[in-house]
Amino acid sequence: MSNNAVLYQRDATYIPRIAAVHDMCGYGKCSLTAAIPILSAAGCDVCPVPTALFSAHTMYQHYTFHDTTEILAGYLDAWQQEGVDLDGVYSGFLGSAEQVAIIQRLYREYPHALRLVDPVMGDGGHMYPTYTEELCQEMAKLADGADILMPNLTEASILTGREYPGQNLDDEQIVDWLGALLDLGAKNVVLKGIDRGDGTLRNAVANATDGAEQFTLLTHEKLPYMIHGTGDAFASALCGAVMSGRSVAESAQIAGEFVRHAMQSTRNQPNFTERGVSFELNLGEMTALVQQ
């Protein structure tokens, strides 16, 4: 395997099914309200597994949160009874530690499905407010066997039990961090959000076969503002590109540019720093991946 390895051979006439194990957020574009349209635009049949229901994302002062753990066993039982098949399992935000077992159940029942893990736990050196130490410890179990693990640097520190390093990593540090993540059992790692303060954001890609030293460093222009939900948009776009038959590194590059373009579209919207990344005008980039 290399960073140019293709994980999914796309049949142009077939629409792959992806279980999107994520929360549903009513306002503030993220999680399933990002995953469903972005993956759909990339020609995927998105099958949501809602891990929580939010009125708005957690950057708002006022929001409601409902943990859906108690309904998920029956939810997946019904899928089994109907013979639902899956080509991929894409997991993100979880509502409780018990939901890791739900994802592991999907892995057992669909052993041929790609395991696409965005270990959503925090950013900027801090856990998200609904997360617990127990949930983060359980989340780390999903790294073992992941076809792609997509942490930011905060999540990388939580997964590996290391101190948060900040975002400014040199190449030697990148190798060290990628190695620690690959040691968890991931087959491919995309380490997101390296920022050396030079106006460029970097994402590093490595695989278990070649080792961390053979990483690929992808670069994108850094825009001078922050928007909530870009991580979910990136992960969803990366998964969509992988399911279109692109390599891991190419998919990460496509996802980074998709997010950058969507952030530029978002800048023109009212209350743009709060409402989440507005990618609607850029979905054609994803559809172009699978157009004949």
97-150, pLDDT tens digit by residue?
Answer: 999 999 999 999 999 999 999 999 999 999 998 899 999 999 999 999 999 999
CB 167, CB 207: distance < 8 Å: no
What tokens does 101 get?
Answer: 């077992």
For the chain, what percentages of helix, strand and coil (3-state, to nearest 5) are there? 40, 25, 40
How long is the chain? 292
Return d(Cα 240, Cα 255) in angstroms, integer: 9
The mean pLDDT of the chain is: 95
pLDDT band at 174 (very low <50, low <70, confident <90, very high): very high
Residue 28 has what pLDDT? 87
Return d(Cα 110, Cα 14) in angstroms, integer: 18
pTM: 0.96
Return d(Cα 98, Cα 119) in angstroms, integer: 15
Q: Which three-class secondary structure state does DSSP give residue 215?
A: coil
Return d(Cα 80, Cα 83) in angstroms, integer: 5
Return d(Cα 136, Cα 23) in angstroms, integer: 16
Mean pLDDT, residues 282-291 taken together:
97
